[in-house]
Structure 1
Amino acid sequence: MERKPIIGITSTILDIEIKGEVNPSVQTNHQYVKAVIEIGGIPIVLPVANAEMAREYIDLCDGIIFASGEDVTPTKYNETPSKELQQTNLARDEMELPLVQYAVENKIPILGTCRGLGVINVALGGSMKQNIVTEESEFSHNQEVSRKLPSHEITIEEDSHLFQMLGTKKAKVNSKHHQAINEVADCLRVAATAEDGVIEAIEARDKDAFILGLQFHPEELYAADTHMLNLLMLFREACEK
């Protein structure tokens, strides 16, 4: 019996109060764990540590999911924090940014959602918009309904790897973010956009590398959307290789 691929999932540190005592805890959305199990992988939650530990994670994992969470610290893309910036986690950035770089160097497949898209882009030389204005758009990028429901449509570039994975030029996605990509890293390309021009997906220019960043959350949509399930299954297949 072949071993299932081990897929690391990044996490954050959440202070949980128990009987009046604050306990820093490892936290990631359990939906990532469920999704990895569903596609036939072994989920491993990767605690926030340091760049040295990130190298150890690379040796452990066949693929890595960069999960959602805090804003990427603007100094990591040479900007001063704006007043619209929300919570950041420098310790997490200082582990995850090298983790992206090590994964790319070692040809480990990576998938990023929401914050994860930003982490991949910044780690490889791109930058972020610290806060996007959505009032002039026909839809909000911070939907009020559950993330398990789509809220708007994206357009997928027909020559992209993402188009090959989904087999469609249009897809319905969920949306829970206030940041977006500004400058795309040179080794990446835009794979999909929203109607207002916000970048919804980036991928490697190198067709042989599985590097995919998504502004949306396929781990929340796959149960009701076969396109999203197929995307996750192809990520697992890349991890198997």
Structure 2
Amino acid sequence: MRFIGVATQYRMAEGLLAKRFWGLLEFYLEALSSQGLAYVLLPPQGPEALERILPHLDGLLLPGGGDVDPDRYREEPHPRLGEVSPERDEHELFLARYAAEKGLPTLGICRGIQVMNVAMGGTLYQDLEAQGFREIQHTEKSPPPALAHGMKLVAESPLARLFPPSFRVNSYHHQGIKDLGEGLKPIALAPDGLVEAVALDGHPLFLGVQWHPELIKDHWPLFGLLKV
């Protein structure tokens, strides 16, 4: 059975303990389990600890969450920038760069694709609507599993084994890829041209998607790509 490390999300504890607690929404765990994958959660910790853990993993999952600090790609904050977490950014950028360098199979979802892009030197739109993307709805207001817009595959990739050339996806993000990171190629686009999926040339699986497949059971086989 393949053993997948999953970067954690966080929430603020209520009451007297005003601290973050690190965990993961259950949808991701259900999706991984459905594909016969075992998993371990990876909260932020130092590079030395991670370098001892990561060689024992068969794959990595970078889940959704808040915004990446634009300081990470040398831009000033936009007025519509959401909450950022320096600790989470540092943790996940280290994971993404390690995975890219070592050939560790990696799947990034929503924030995850954005982290992967920034890790490879790319940049982000800090707010899609404010920066000109108004043609389609990227920040879906309806609850899952509502499908917000269509998407088209534009390059050969593992996605072609799972999906038709055009299909619909959900959409719960206000940021997106602007300049692609080094070595990344776009493999799917939204109707307005926004990059919806990327892959790293020459890597066994360094795949990021902008939608949330964990919320669509028919898309759970996407997690099975981590079995490479």
**TM-score interval w.r.t. the shorter chain?**
over 0.9
1:232 aligns with 223
Question: Do the aligned partners of 1:63 and 1:110 also contact (CA within 8 Å) in 2?
Answer: yes
SS in 1 for 2:13: strand
Q: Does 1:85 align with 2:81?
A: yes
Q: Is the 8 A contact 1:39 1:236 kept in 2?
A: no
Distance 1:119 1:57 in 2: 20
Residues 54 and 96 of structure 1 are in contact (CA less than 8 Å); yes or no, is this contact kept in structure 2?
no
Aligned length: 227
Q: Which residue does 2:206 correspond to in 1?
A: 211
Q: 1:56 to 1:150 in 2, by over 3 A?
A: farther
Instruction: Confirm whether residue 202 of structure 1 aligns to residue 198 of structure 2.
Output: yes
CA distance in structure 2 between the aligned counterparts of 1:53 and 1:32, rounded to whole angstroms: 24
1:198 Cα deviation after fit: 1.1
**Is the CA contact 2:205–2:226 (under 8 Å) kept in the aligned structure 1?**
no
TM-score when scaled to structure 2?
0.92
Identity of aligned residues (%): 30
Are residues 1:114 and 2:110 paired?
A: yes
TM-score computed with the length of structure 1 as normaliser: 0.88
Instruction: Trace 1:133-152 onto structure 2 (pairs within 5 A).
Output: 133=129, 137-152=134-149
Aligned-partner Cα distance in 1 for 2:167–2:5 = 27
Alignment of 1:45-56 (within 5 A): 45-56=41-52
Q: Deviations over 1:112-157 (max 9, x none)?
A: 0110000000001111111111786443101111232322110111
User: Which stretches in structure 2 are left out of the alignment for 5+ residues?
Assistant: none
The answer as to whether partners of 2:107 and 2:226 remain within 8 angstroms in 1 is no
Aligned residues: CA RMSD: 1.8
The residue matched to 2:115 in structure 1 has which SS? Answer: helix
Q: Is the 8 A contact 1:147 1:217 kept in 2?
A: no
Give unmatched runs, 5+ long, in structure 1. none
Aligned to 1:17, the other structure's residue is in SS state: coil
| Superposition misfits of 4+ residues, deviation over 4 angstroms | none
What residue identity is the alignment partner of 2:17? E
| 1:13-60 Cα shifts (integer Å, max 9, x gaps) | 322115x43343112211111111110011211112233333233123
- Distance change (3 Å), C-alpha of 1:229 and 1:17: closer
